[in-house]
Each structure stands twice: as C-alpha cells, then as structure tokens.
Amino acid sequence: MTTASLETPLTKNPAVLKWVEDCSALLKPDHIHWVDGTEAERQNMISTCLKTGELEELNQALLPGCYFHRSAQNDVARTEHLTFICSPTKEDAGPTNNWMAPSEAYAKLKGIFDGAMKGRTLYVIPFIMGPAGSPFSKIGVEITDSLYVVLNMGIMTRMGNVAWKQLGDSPNFTRCLHSKADLNESRRFICHFPQDNTIWSVGSGYGGNALLGKKCLALRIASALGQKEGWLAEHMLILGIENPKGEKRYIAAAFPSACGKTNLAMLVPPAHLVKQGYKVWTLGDDIAWLRVGPDGRLWASNPEAGFFGVVPGTNSRSNPNAVKTIRTNTIYTNVGKMANGDVWWEGHDNLPPEECLDWKGQKWNPDMDTKAAHPNSRFTAPARQCPSIAPNWEDPAGVPLDAILFGGRRAHLTPLITESYNWQHGVFMGATMASETTAAQQGGNVGVVRRDPMAMLPFCGYNMADYFGHWLSMGTKIKNPPKIFLANWFRQGKDGKYLWPGYGDNMRVLLWILDRAQGKGASVESPIGTLPTKDAIDAGGLDLTAPVMEELLSVDRAAWETEIADIDKFFATFGSRLPAALKSERDALAARIKKA
C-alpha cells in the first residue's frame, strides 16, 4: 500500500487505479494529484512553478500568458543513445534502434524509480492523442513528478477530464511512466515496450524524452500499433493549400528534426501567389497518423494539440505565423531572457539586446562568442493560436492526401524536387532519405550526413525493415494513393550558398506537386525520378536565373553512384529482412544511372 496522501481519483477505471497504485508503491511520492485539465488547475500549477523557480514569469504586457523555463544544462535535447526499444527480441527492434531486453529494462529502471518521488507529488495525467471523440484517437496516462511536463502536456495534448471520459473503463491506454529522478545522465533511460503498450522514461525533463505523448507514444508506440492495426504513424507535418477557386488539397511531409518542418507547416505564400488568391492552412507540424479511408484515399490527422518548436531562427521572414503564435500562452525553454522580461534568441527579428541572461542563466552580451539561446531551445504553444490553423484541423476523420513529401538537408546530390514513378518507388525514396544532422540530437556531430528513412530513424518502434514492408503493403490497400515526392530546399552551389530561397517560396514547389497529383505540370524523366522542366516551377517575382534552376534540378551521375554505394551499406544492415521490392528499386536505379 502507498503511504502517499491520496486525492480522490478522478476515474473509477480499475486498470488505471491498479497501475497508479503499483507505480506509487514504487516511486513513494508524498502526494498524488489527479490532473483534471481545468483552467483553475493550470493557474494553480503555474503559481507553484513560479514559487519553486521551475517557471519564471515573462513580461505579461509584451507576452501575455507566457512563461520561461530553464532546463538542467545536461538536459537540452533528445538523447537517442539512451533511448531503447525493449521488444521481446533484438531482431524485433532492428538494427537502427537501441535494444534492451524487457526484463533487464524493467529491472534497471525499477531500481532508479524506487523512491524517486520521495518528497514530491506524483501527477496522474490522462491525455488523448487526436481529437476528443475521434475513433482514431489513442489514450495515454502519464505519471510524472514534473509540473513542467504537466503544463506542456496541457498544451500538446487534449488533457484531463476529457480523456478520463473517453477512456471510460477500458484497459486500453498507453502506460507512460516518467520521473525526472536526479536528472543524472548515467541514470537516464527512455524505454519503450511496444508489446505492453508501455513507456518508462527516467532522468530527463526534455520535451522529446518526457512529454511521453509525443515522440514516445505518437511515433514509437503508435508506429508499432499501426503495423498491427493497418495504419501509419509518421514524423510528418500536414498542410492544406487553397487555390484561387477555393479548392483545398492536402500534403503531408516528412523531414528530419530541425529541417524547417514547422516553417513549412506554417508557410506564408510569396506576395506573387497571394495576389493570385492562394492560401496555406496548417494542420500539424510534427506528427501525422495516416489511415486508408472508405473512399480508398489516404487520410491524415494530427494527434497533437500544440507545437513544440525550435526557437532560434524563428522570425518574420522564416515563419511569420509562428512569431504570432508564440506571443501568448507559450512556454519558452532555454532562450535568452532580458531584464524587462522579454525573450531573445539567435535569428530573432530584433537586434541582440545589449545584455541579457543566456539559457544557462549567465550574463550575456553580443560580444561574447557563446549563444544567448540554446540552439535547441523550444517554444510550446497551442496550435489553435496559429493564424494559419485550418478550420478543419480537428476533424475526427482527418484530411485526404494528394501528396506525400519526403525531404532532407543535402548540400549536394538531390534536386529541389523529384517525383517518384509509383508508390513502391516512393517508398524507396523515403527509405533511402538522408540528411545532415542538427542540434535536435544531443551528442551527435552537427552537419554529418546520416540516413534517416522517412525521417523516422529515431522514432520507429520496431524493425525498420518491417516498417518498410508495412509501407509497401499499405500501398496495396490504398486505391487512390497520394503521389510521393522527394524535396531538398538546402542544395548549395559551388560557393557554398543556398541555391533556393526556401521559406515561403517553397510554396512554388508545392504547387508543382499538386499539379502533378492532378496529372498536370510540365515534367521530364530523369534516372532518379520525374523532375520539373526548368520552367515548370513558377518563379515569378523571384530573382532566380535559368542556370541556377538548372543546377537545382541537375542529376550528377558520379555523385549518385557514390550514393548507391552508401545505400547498399545501409540496406545491408537489415540483412534478409529487407523487402525484396526495395532491393529491386535499388537495382533499377543503378541501371538507370549507368545508362544515363
């Protein structure tokens, strides 16, 4: 029996009561709080955090409802090397995941959880991933000792009584156990048990490690559920494009972390296209759940309710909608903080302040060679505040997709945009995607090219070879599949400068994609896929010369031969589990390159 002072549980669900009782016996908190998700509760929690210093109030005249959080200095990003898929066998986790045997993981983490909440409150957070009432939503219950986690979960999910109501008496919920413990990296583990629908995370308060509804549930656990249940959980934004006739079409796009996904999701079209009457609608910036609809199309919905975005570089040019979204009711983590309670970061619209406190809480000025904001500093903001949020973003059925876009940050090699020949070729494109690493991964070298299939490398909850197989088999179930494309906004010229303006101008590429999805748009065949002709992309109002467009769309045969050799190395890691269809796509590509 627990000795914690007990509040009356907000649910009679026997599976929840038993699980909370068991966890409480292990964690030994002083108090248990059942989260109801009300505004009064949120205000109380904020007051507590202001007293303990977990949050600091920002200037409420400039940033109403906004607060600041400074994390531990060793806890600023996802820790992929400490993240494990604890499936029954190592083969089930596959070569791209860290694996720990479930018995070992449970035993090891039990040792760390034991007594970790002494002197603390245990919060029980019920939450829904997906809109309330949607048959496609999934329910999780997170136990945590972090009020920062509760407040962030309140933004990122549908949290509280609404989730208790939807769960009812069902034992079907993801058991998410989290404790900051002592935030010591040597006792930090993020473990997933897909076979038990369970996540255990200890030793970190960072969003991707601790807001267990996000990467842990909505991607790693959900991808494994999707394999069993016949759907896909993807690291994708969802956006809608409305043409001048008022017709809306939807695209889902997968890019590795910090490749401008949030910017693309909230894109503001260039003046040239606004004048013509085009609009862009945001439906999600990070995660999409994809299902086959009764109409034989692929439908996408965003399971999240908020944005957990990278702050540095957010400004009126890169993302004017994000700038407006994060002016109110936002939690800022690890940015620079000024004496007047305003915030600043590298790439802000305003010039650097003469002085501020940096993300570590040290005095900072622009002459120093350190950064004011951590490169992976974050905002957590409600999606509904985004000026471009689509009126139908919470539609329980989601939206039908015209196209799927994969992309990565490649200084060389991949053209601005390439269309796949068909679903299987598109899956090959996604499976062989690669990108240069960024600051979103702790402990990695920034700027190194790594293969990141479908941008899911750190997020796939099972063997990635089986995941490719699942993608291929989904293709047989979708009567009218979306077309699949590969984008690269980051191609550089010989002088090391970006060739493509990016940001809002990416809309020009999206319009070509939608044209192609409707059987229009000028195109030309290449050995790697179908490319736009050099004047197929509307460059009106852009200062982009014909030779630059040619370079953006060029295919360098020798570079592709090197790429194929690298793909071979990557594919070899999957051994015989790699679907034969991907091997034949590889062979077909090699043959086309050879002939070119």
What CA–CA distance (Å, rounded) separates 11 from 29? 20
State the minimum distance, in angstroms, from the CB of residue 447 to ligand OXD: 17
The yes or no reply on residue 440 touching ligand OXD (CB under 6 A) is yes
Binding track, positions 252-271, relative to Mn ion; x by CB under 5 A: -----x--------------
Catalytic residue among 23, 49, 66, 259: 259
Instruction: Read off the tokens for 462.
Output: 């099972």
- Comparing CB distances to ligand OXD, the nearer of 109 and 440 is 440
CB 262 within 8 A of CB 503: no
The yes or no reply on residue 257 touching ligand OXD (CB under 6 A) is yes
Terminal-to-terminal C-alpha distance of the chain: 72
Site for ligand OXD in 195-224 (CB under 6 A): 208
Task: Residue 236: name the closest of 401, 466, 429 by CA.
Answer: 401
Task: Map residue 178 onto helix, strand or coil.
Answer: strand
The yes or no reply on residue 452 touching ligand OXD (CB under 6 A) is no
Task: Residue 121: name the closest of 153, 159, 148, 154 by CA.
Answer: 148
The binder of 70, among Mn ion, ligand OXD, none, by C-beta within 5 to 8 A per type, is: none
- 281 has which bridge partners? 240
The yes or no reply on residue 238 touching ligand OXD (CB under 6 A) is no
* Among 286, 419, 452, 466, contact with Mn ion (rule: CB under 5 A): 286
Site for Mn ion in 24-53 (CB under 5 A): none
Query: How many Å is the Cα radius of gyration of the chain?
Result: 24
Instruction: Read off the tokens for 568.
Output: 């071979």
- 64 φ, ψ (degrees, to nearest 5): -60, 135
Task: Residue 455: name the closest of 156, 252, 272 by CA.
Answer: 252
Instruction: Read off the tokens for 132.
Output: 């309330």
- Comparing CB distances to ligand OXD, the nearer of 299 and 308 is 308
Number of residues this chain uses to bind ligand OXD (CB under 6 A):
6
The yes or no reply on residue 308 touching ligand OXD (CB under 6 A) is yes
The yes or no reply on residue 80 touching Mn ion (CB under 5 A) is no
Length of the chain in residues, anyone? 596
The yes or no reply on residue 342 touching Mn ion (CB under 5 A) is no
- Comparing CB distances to ligand OXD, the nearer of 113 and 406 is 406
What CA–CA distance (Å, rounded) separates 134 from 175? 20
The binder of 205, among ligand OXD, Mn ion, none, by C-beta within 5 to 8 A per type, is: none
What CA–CA distance (Å, rounded) separates 466 from 166? 32
Q: Which stretch binds Mn ion (CB under 5 A): 120-128, 279-287, 416-424, 587-595?
A: 279-287
Distance of CA 26 to the CA centre of its chain: 32
The yes or no reply on residue 299 touching ligand OXD (CB under 6 A) is no
The yes or no reply on residue 306 touching ligand OXD (CB under 6 A) is no
State the minimum distance, in angstroms, from the CB of residue 409 to ligand OXD: 13
- Annotation marks residue 86 as catalytic: no
Task: Residue 404: name the closest of 232, 229, 192 by CA.
Answer: 232
Q: Which amino acid, one-letter code, is at 263? A: N
Write out the residues near ligand OXD by the rule CB under 6 A. 78, 208, 257, 286, 308, 440
**Residues that are catalytic:** 259
Where does this chain bind Mn ion (CB under 5 A)? 257, 286
